[in-house]
Amino acid sequence: MKGKNNWGIISNNFYAVKTVWDASRSRVIHSALTFLAGNVEKVFMSIFFLRYVIGAVEDEAPVETILFFIGICFLVFLLLAAYDSYLSAVAFPIADNKIYRKLYRKIYTKAGNVELGCFEDAEFYNQYTMALDDAVKKMTFSVSNFFSMIFGAVAAIASFWAMFDIDPYSVLFVISPIIGNFVFGTLMNKIWGGRYVDTVKNNRIMAYVNRVLHLSEYAKEVRYSGIHGLMMKRYKEAVDGNVAVADKYAKKAIPYTWAQNVTTFALVFEGIMIYAAYRTIVSKTMGLAELAIMFTAMSTSSWLLIGLFKNFSEALKNGQFLEYYRTFMEYEEKIPEDQDGIIPEKIESIEFRNVFFEYKKDEPVIKNLSFKIEGDKVCALVGHNGAGKTTIIKLLFRLYDPTEGEILVNGTNIKEYNLKAYRKQFSAAFQDYKVMAMSVKDNVLMGEKFDDPDEVAKRALICSGVWDKVESLPKGMDTVMTKEFDKDGAVLSGGEQQKIVIARAFAQPASVKVFDEPSSALDPIAEYDLYKGIMSESKGHMTLFISHRLSSVRDADVVLMFENGELIEQGSHRTLMELNGKYCEMYTKQARNYLADETYREGVTA
């Protein structure tokens, strides 16, 4: 694992045991017991059981005594088998479901509490997705692997001791499998690790092609274009690439694999057999019982060493997942969603005071921004794409904090407010909206509680201009959006989906309602009706809307025009037109294109 020493691996495995212990103590206890029992059984049967039976036969012990001993052992192993069956069929499935609930609740709670910037940070987001990827399976595997390693080591020591007890020199044969596993095995792991890295890109290409060729969202493009042939070409190139990688590493792997097999098995078993045969036949210093025990002890020791090396390799591989999980869960949020503070009242004023902001260091997006909006006004934020309009809203919502400067709401720095209560003062319809696989009503109300939810949802859908369409659906507002989980679900057009998202903003009883490019998917008539609805619903609260279509901002009380993260003009539509600056220039160009009239001027039509 890159950047991690052995102590880091051990620490992560202890962390896994503690995490599972907190979720289900029985899972940890049963895991420990099952590996303890398994290794005791392995060593006992291959060494001590055999030693007793052969010794008893050589000493001419009563048959009844030998059979009684065998019967007791058989009964114990039956009980262990029953216990193992109980764990597989009952205890582990129940415990794993319990762990699943608790572990994913913790992960999702953490994910819901970290700031938005974490999800826009590729490295952090990768850690989050890897923390989610089979988290329960990997965590419980880590626990099992941990106890397998501990009790496997104890069992190996017991086997070595049994060999030492027979012949101290026989323990020297253990050096061979140690070299085989921990020297050549490590070299092999490096080879397989290199092969894995070299195949990652090709595997991702194959996974992408598989996704494109079987998901419904790509079906039309695949059928009416020549993309299928191109995809199959990329797939073949990826497969051929993996074949080439396998061939490249096979040449390196063959000698190491041969050396590992020879040192782990051939030298050990042949060597111990020759040595034992010499002592038994030539020097006559070892009996047949000791010969059998030494051979089985060596065999058991070799397999235990192989198991130990495998456990260690798995700990290395799983250690990376554990590191990502720990990093994610131990991350200290910069803007924790559960931050307490002042409970805000109705928002009467918003002020940006000398605000700077950058997503990446030394690449400012907002530069020394200052403005103030007061009262129940309609304020339009306009400018070309990339001017910083949506970023301003993200800062206002405290999805990010300014790099410099401060944002004041009702004269108080927004960092002092209870974050959840503060965000409750806003409702929004963002341009990068997402429609959930839930009913239309749930997509509008988004989990908020109302005395009459049906009436609230209906009114919001009327205001956004999509009620007639919703009413015509098979189950009206209860129709599920998308057919992914319901064959009777509705697949609406982009404009209709956008109107349902806009209805979310209308439905919430907020102090400030924000519409971010709300007409991007609408035709001109629908756009006109939408802005008419926004204006008619703007009483009693502040309204902010972002638009690059300046025809929609004429009725706004205040227009703020941005360019490259700076406020360059502000005032009413008429004031800015009379100023004859950037706003007037942009408005005039758009009007000419919109009306296809080169003689158009504000003074003529106003």
The 10s digit of each residue's pLDDT in 338-379 is: 889 999 999 999 999 999 999 888 888 999 999 999 988 899
> 148 with 37: CB under 8 angstroms?
no
Of the candidates 430, 424, 419, 350, the one whose C-alpha atom is nearest the C-alpha of residue 390 is 430
Sheet holding 542-547, edge to edge: 426-429, 512-516, 542-547, 378-382, 558-563, 566-571
Q: What angle do CA 292, 293, 296 make, to 5 degrees?
A: 85
The predicted structure's pLDDT at residue 512: 92
Query: How many C-beta atoms lie closer than 10 Å to residue 301's C-beta?
Result: 29
Query: Which H helix or E strand runs over 210?
Result: helix 185-214
Q: What tokens does 86 get?
A: 């109980």
170 Cβ contact partners less than 8 Å away, ≥ 6 residues apart? 163, 164, 272, 275, 276, 294, 298
596 Cβ contact partners less than 8 Å away, ≥ 6 residues apart? none
The CATH superfamily assigned to 349-605 is P-loop containing nucleotide triphosphate hydrolases (3.40.50.300)
Tell me how far CA of residue 114 lies from CA of 41, 324, 430, in angstroms: 48, 15, 20
For residue 6, pLDDT over 60 is answered with no
Distance CA 126, CA 324 (A): 9
Q: Which DSSP state fits 551? A: G
Distance CA 522, CA 264 (A): 71
Q: What are phi and psi of 287, to 5 degrees?
A: -85, 170
Distance CA 26, CA 20 (A): 9
Give the rounded distance of the alpha carbon of 249 from its chain centre: 31
Q: What is the mean pLDDT of residues 417-426?
A: 92
Q: CA 600, 602, 605, 606: dihedral to nearest 10 degrees?
A: 170
550 Cβ contact partners less than 8 Å away, ≥ 6 residues apart? 382, 583, 586, 587, 590, 591
Q: What tokens does 540 get?
A: 């009693």
> 77 with 40: CB under 8 angstroms?
no
Give the rounded distance of the alpha carbon of 325 from its chain centre: 9
510 Cβ contact partners less than 8 Å away, ≥ 6 residues apart? 424, 425, 426, 427, 541
The predicted structure's pLDDT at residue 158: 86
User: Hey, is 36 helix, strand or coil?
Assistant: helix
The predicted structure's pLDDT at residue 542: 92
Q: What are phi and psi of 540, to 5 degrees?
A: 85, 5
Distance CA 429, CA 464 (A): 11
Q: What tokens does 351 get?
A: 């002020």
Taking only Cα atoms into account, the Rg of the chain, rounded to an integer number of angstroms, comes to: 36
The domains of the chain are located at 8-167+318-334, 168-285, 349-605
User: Hey, is 410 helix, strand or coil?
Assistant: coil
Distance CA 203, CA 209 (A): 10
Q: What is the mean pLDDT of residues 104-125?
A: 81
For residue 598, pLDDT over 50 is answered with no
For residue 1, pLDDT over 60 is answered with no
Averaged pLDDT of the chain: 83
The predicted structure's pLDDT at residue 597: 41
Give me the amino acid identity at 142.
Answer: S
For residue 255, pLDDT over 50 is answered with yes
Out of 83-97, 156-170, 196-210, 244-258, give the one with best mean pLDDT: 83-97
Distance CA 395, CA 379 (A): 16
For residue 3, pLDDT over 50 is answered with no
Query: How many C-beta atoms lie closer than 10 Å to residue 147's C-beta?
Result: 22
Q: What is the mean pLDDT of residues 500-529?
A: 81
Q: What is the mean pLDDT of residues 209-219?
A: 77
Of 59-73, 179-193, 384-398, 410-424, give the lowest mean pLDDT range.
179-193
The predicted structure's pLDDT at residue 357: 94
* Burial class (CB within 10 angstroms; exposed 0-12, middle 13-18, buried 19+) of 159: buried
For residue 605, pLDDT over 60 is answered with no
Full-model pTM: 0.65
The predicted structure's pLDDT at residue 217: 66
Give me the amino acid identity at 472.
Answer: S
Distance CA 591, CA 552 (A): 11
Distance CA 568, CA 582 (A): 8
Of 84-88, 124-128, 472-476, 550-554, give the lowest mean pLDDT range.
124-128
Distance CA 277, CA 317 (A): 42
The predicted structure's pLDDT at residue 185: 73
For residue 604, pLDDT over 60 is answered with no
> 218 pLDDT band (50/70/90 cuts)?
confident
β-bridge pairing 542-547 and 512-516? parallel
Q: What is the pLDDT of residues 85-102, one digit of tens each?
A: 999 999 999 999 999 999
Of the candidates 561, 557, 569, 571, the one whose C-alpha atom is nearest the C-alpha of residue 377 is 557
For residue 181, pLDDT over 80 is answered with no
The predicted structure's pLDDT at residue 593: 63
Q: What angle do CA 499, 504, 506 make, to 5 degrees?
A: 90
Residue-wise DSSP of 306-326: HHHHHHHHHHHHHHHHHHHHH
> 231 pLDDT band (50/70/90 cuts)?
confident
Q: Which DSSP state fits 174? A: G
Give me the residue label for tokens 């007061």. 374
Out of 123-127, 386-390, 569-573, give the one with best mean pLDDT: 569-573
> 341 with 402: CB under 8 angstroms?
no
Of 1-5, 204-208, 515-519, give the lowest mean pLDDT range.
1-5
Length of the chain: 606
